Structure 1
Amino acid sequence: MSTPRVYVIHENPEWFPPLAAAFEAEGVPVEEILLTEGQIDLGAEPAPGVYWSRMSASSHTRGHEHSKEYTRAVLGWLERAGRQVVGGSHVLELEVSKVAQHGLLAGAGFDVPRTTAVFGTTTLKQAAADFTGGRDVPFITKHNQGGKGLGVRRFDSLAEFGAYVDSPEFEEPVDGITLLQEYLTAREPFITRVEFVGGEFVYAVRVDTSAGSFELCPADACEIPQVIAGAVCDVPGTSRPNAFEVRTEVTAEHPLVQQLRTFLADQRIQIAGVEVMETTDGRTVVYDINTNTNYNPAVEETAPASGPRSIARYLGGLLETQYAAQLTA
């Protein structure tokens, strides 16, 4: 039987190098399971180890339309076999549904954006009129299965929205669910992303949104369909200096951090980045849970702890606890 190790389940190799370096630095054996194709012998026992799923809601934008389904199959197989899975089936379902995220956050008492989920396109324009009370007030759209700012657009009038829905520019959601959401105005031009590993606070990141982009991916390898001037995403040649900075005043003792920590523990979510906006009218709105979080290299240089190294230590600790005898043999 093979030596126990950490297996990382994902579909985007470009995101993996910083994690591979972290596992190597921590001395934790690791292997990728790339779910763009493959097979499962359903009668076989999975290899011994700790499995970490970081399947992304945006996998379909990279030509991996079926990776979500592949992951569902693999996670079910692993869980039925009793393997330890971090980011298991219940977390995958949260990652790929903003409707599910909204419901859990609201149920836990967080302030969330007012949202309507619209199925299909035939009732979209009427749903927008109902959502705004027939008035021309700003609102935004999102895709239910999102990531990378998919489907996020601002509209200032119902006529503008109607023209978009009827145009070739309309962006069809991969699961057919479009979200209509209240437009929030930040008190200052940034959002905050609070990172947790093993259920514990790592650091909070200030993400500059002054350019107006909804693309908030922090990874060097993040891809966007076209070059957006001043895009928040850290793509070489397009990012602004200091778009991502550590918020040192946000610590583990911060009330919101403690509330999020309890929420993640209750939902059995071990690794996540949670996005928050502080608005002009005094609200602190929690609007996104990212369970396959990436880390910005500039932030990593100044942060009090490393996100990837924290993950490697956490998963390595789980591996050591479960397979100590085999690892030292």
Structure 2
Amino acid sequence: MTELAILYEHPAWFAPLFAALDRRGLDYVAISLGDHSFDPAASPPPAPVIFNRVAMSSFLREPEHPLFYTMALLDHWRGQGATILNGPEVMAVDSSKARQLSLLHRLGLATPRTHIVHRAADLAAAAGAVGYPLLVKANIGGSGAGIMRFDSAAELAAVVAAGDQPQSVDQVLLVQEAIPARDGLIWRLETLGGKFLYAITVEGAGQFDLCPADACGDDRGPIPMRAFDPPSDIVAAAERIAAAMGMDVGGVEVMIDNRDGAPRFYDINALSNFVARPVDVLGWDPHDRLVDWLETRIAEARA
């Protein structure tokens, strides 16, 4: 019997993972969600261990996206005894920036000042509480989608009057202070099995539509990024976040506030396809360690 199933949506992002699994000779099945369906009275798990690799940004590629479908499917398979990696409870937090911020606050971590609304008419009042400059963000984003910066109330009012404010597929919006990031850098820490794996710095903290993990780049070329060793307290914070969320694999993003030097945690991403050109950036390929970890989880499920 096949021992591992990879559930995914993006057609190309996981080629390196599949290649690493093939090199190791691991028996697996890759399941694309494009035309997938299931019977709640049947549809047994395709493997004892199922690894969820569905991206929050899938709604950008398909209007009939599989985000909420995937949560139901994973819950169905777990109910039949499968081990689910990055399961529905992880997706529920991954798909809500509002829930992420609440989690970060419960852990005692600093975040950008934020107000949450669900009506465009309430953006102005929330902005008044947060202060300018600010960002309006879609609650369900992905690859930096659905973010706009506003430097004045008049600018925000004009956009809202035209109906051009960001839209979120769940109708939830964040109004968040614009953090002046030190050196214009994002710090992204990746975790595997709840433990720190590696960290990179990503240039472009004042830009949007970034996808730091896979270096999507733009018309100016790839996003500059470098491996680095983060302070031990930031590593510990990332591991605490992963543990509190139950996240098996994923990244945590933080910026250093140039006003006071404080780390501001602002995003958790349970879908990480790892840094592009890992050997060039890190000196090693994290997919190999991911496959090691997957083999351990398969052995645990088999026992």
After TM superposition, the score normalised by the length of structure 1 is: 0.85
1:275 Cα deviation from its structure 2 partner = 0.3
User: After the TM superposition, which residues 228-239 of structure 1 pair with which residues of structure 2 at under 5 Å, given as runs?
Assistant: 233-234=216-217, 238-239=220-221
Question: How many angstroms apart in 2 are the aligned matches of 1:73 and 1:6?
Answer: 19
Query: Are residues 1:89 and 2:72 paired?
Result: no
Alignment of 1:119-158 (within 5 A): 119-132=118-131, 137-158=132-153
Deviations 1:33-62 (A, max 9, x none): 222222223324323321011222211110
Instruction: Answer yes or no: is 1:161 the counterpart of 2:159.
Output: no
User: Displacement, 1:64?
Assistant: 4.6
Instruction: Find the aligned partners of 2:164 and 2:93 in 1 and give their Cα distance.
Output: 28
What runs of 5+ residues in structure 2 fail to find an aligned partner? none
1:27, 1:201 → 2: CA distance? Answer: 26
- Provide Cα deviations, 1:115-169, integer angstroms capped at 9, x if missing partner: 111112122223323433xxxx311111101111122121110000111112254
SS in 2 for 1:37: coil
Cα offset, 1:27, TM superposition: 2.7
Change (3 A) 1:64 1:30: farther
In structure 1, the residue corresponding to 2:120 is in which secondary structure? coil
> After TM superposition, which residue ranges in structure 1, 4 or more long, deviate above 4 angstroms?
none
Whether contact under 8 Å (1:190, 1:208) holds in the other structure is yes
User: 2:219 aligned with 1:260, yes or no?
Assistant: no
The aligned amino acid for 1:274 is V
Is 2:225 aligned against 1:244? yes
CA distance in 2: counterparts of 1:44 and 1:173, whole angstroms: 31
When residues 151 and 30 of structure 1 are mapped into structure 2, their CA distance, relative to the original with a 3 A threshold, is same
For the residues of structure 1 that align with 2:124 and 2:230, how far apart are their CA atoms? 41
Deviations along 1:239-292, one digit per CA (max 9) or x if unpaired, are 24x711101x327xx122023213312331111110010111211011100000
For 1:122, what is the secondary structure of its paired residue? helix
Distance 2:267 2:111 in 1: 9
**Matched-pair contact (CA < 8 Å) for 1:15–1:219:** no
Task: Provide the residue aligned with 2:171 in structure 1.
Answer: 176
Match of 2:8 in 1: 10
Flag the 1:78–1:146 CA change in 2: closer, same or farther, 3 A.
Answer: same
Q: Which residue of 1 aligns with 2:272?
A: 293
Which residue matches 2:300? 321
Secondary structure of 1:282's aligned partner: coil
Q: Which moved more, 1:20-29 or 1:122-131?
A: 122-131
Q: Aligned AA for 1:216?
A: L
What residue ranges of structure 1 are gaps of 5+ in the alignment? 221-231, 325-329
Root mean square deviation of aligned Cα: 2.0
